[in-house]
């Protein structure tokens, strides 16, 4: 039990504040580029990338997955991969990518 608590000490309060600031900024950027018409053609991949970055920040720092045991990583990332693969397969089966809009 002791070692797992010790592992969290890696992330300090300062790190948390920086991560939160980045999350806020990225969200603002996401909304901003939503309104920029010039970015229309690459809007989908751009937004998905930014969203994935926020996802990774919260999971990695706030949920400590970056520092924690790889057992936890396996329990989360394994199912996540299955879920994402099935979502993509279903979207392909239903022709959601058909229009060429979903470049991702």
Partner 1 sequence: MAVKEAAAEHGAGLDSGTHEGTYSGGLWSWITTVDHKRIGIMYAVFAFFFFLVGGLEALLIRLQLGSPENTLIDPDLYNQLFTMHGTTMVFLAIMPLSAAFFNFIVPLQLGARDVAFPRLNAFSLWVFVFGAFFLNASFLFGGAPDAGWFGYANLTSTQYSPGVRIDFWVLGLQVLGVSSIAAALNFIVTIINLRAPGMSLMRMPLFTWMTFVTSFLLILAFPAITVGLVLLMFDRTFGTSFFNPAAGGDVLLWQHLFWIFGHPEVYILLLPSLGIVSEVIPTFSRKPLFGYPFVVYSGILIAFLGFGVWAHHMFSVGLGPIANTVFSATTMLIAIPTGVKIFNWIATMWGGSLRLKTPLYFAIGFIAMFIIGGLSGVMHSSAAADLQQTDSYFVVAHIHYVLFGGVIFALFSGIYYWFPKITGKLLSEGIGKVHFWVMLLAFNLTFFPQHYLGLHGMPRRTFTYQEGLGFEAMNLMSTAGSLLLGFSILIFLWNVLVSLRKGAAAGRDPWGGATLEWAIDSPPPHYNFRVEPTVHSRDPLWAAGGLDVDVNDPAAPEPHMPSPSLWPFILSAGLVVAAAGAVAKSLVVVLAGGAIVVVSIFGWAFQPLER
Partner 2 sequence: MTEHAATAAEQHHSYTGLPNRKLLMWAFIGSECMLFGSLLITYLVYRGRSVVGPYPEELLNIPFITVTTFILLMSSLMMVLALAAVQRNDMRQGKLWILMTALLGLAFLAGQAYEFTHFVHEGLGLTTNLFGASFFLLTGTHGAHVAVGVVWLLTLFVMAMRGRLSSADAETVEITGLYWHFVDVVWIVLFTVIYLLV
Query: Residue 30: left (phi > 0), alpha (psi -120 to 50), or beta?
Result: alpha
Q: Which is nearer to partner 1, 18 or 77 (CB)?
A: 77
Site for partner 1 in 6-65 (CB under 8 A): none
Among 29, 36, 39, 87, binds partner 2 (CB under 8 A): 87
Site for partner 1 in 70-99 (CB under 8 A): 71, 75, 78-79, 82-83, 85-86, 89-90, 93-94
CB 85 within 8 A of CB 20: no
- Comparing CA positions, the residue from 76, 48, 79, 81 lying closest to residue 63 is 76
32 makes contact, choosing from partner 2, partner 1, none, with CB < 5 to 8 Å by partner type, with: none
Local structure of residue 67 (DSSP, 8 states): T
């Amino acid at each position: 039990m002791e070692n797992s608590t010790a592992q969290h000490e890696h992330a300090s309060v300062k790190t948390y504040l920086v991560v939160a600031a980045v999350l806020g900024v990225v969200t603002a950027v996401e909304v901003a580029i939503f309104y920029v018409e010039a970015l229309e053609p690459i809007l989908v991949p751009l937004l998905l990338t930014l969203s994935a970055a926020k996802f990774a920040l919260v999971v990695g720092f706030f949920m400590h997955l970056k520092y924690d045991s790889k057992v936890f990583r396996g329990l989360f990332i394994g199912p996540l991969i299955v879920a994402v693969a099935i979502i993509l397969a279903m979207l392909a089966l239903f022709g959601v990518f058909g229009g060429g809009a979903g470049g991702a």
